[in-house]
Amino acid sequence: MTQDPLADVPGRLAFVAGRLNRRIRAAGGGLSHGLLSALATVQKFGPIRLADLSHQEFVSAPSTTRLVAELEKRGLVSRTIDPADGRAFLIETTSAGEAEIVRARSARASMVASLMSTLSPDEVAAIEKALPALERAIENDEQSPRR
């Protein structure tokens, strides 16, 4: 019986992505993965309500409250009263928060560039060719209803 040649792709991709993610997180420095992820989500969707941030980050409301409090303490986000609902807050990045995202992304990109420097031009081209499909898969997931 012949095995489907794509049967192992999801497992291999998950394994490699996990290992790469650990290296990327370590390269970011400064902020934990959770704080940086929340900050980037606020930048992408902000101003954003706490409940919407929880939904985007797949974390509980109390966890989101703690993340935002820490980001606010560090001066990376600010909160204002939601004009549509005075009981709710809107969270947005500050200029310091935007600078931290740029710094962390740059450090992480440098780490990935270092890893890729050991690859052949054909291997780098193969990764580049796969990126649009991976980006589309993530975008499709972000647009789908949350589980």
CATH code for the domain in which residue 51 is found: 1.10.10.10
C-beta atoms surrounding 129 within 10 Å: 9
Structure tokens at 82: 């939601």
Range of the domain at 77: 27-118
Say if 1 falls within a structural domain.
no
Residues 16-67: tens digit of each pLDDT: 999 998 888 888 667 888 899 999 999 999 999 999 999 999 999 999 999 9
Residue 14: inside a domain: no
Would residue 143 count as lying in a domain?
no
Cα distances from 85 to residues 45, 49, 80, 94, in angstroms, run: 18, 10, 11, 22
Q: Domain total for the chain?
A: 1
pTM metric for this prediction: 0.75
> Is 96 among the domain residues?
yes
In a domain, 76, yes or no: yes
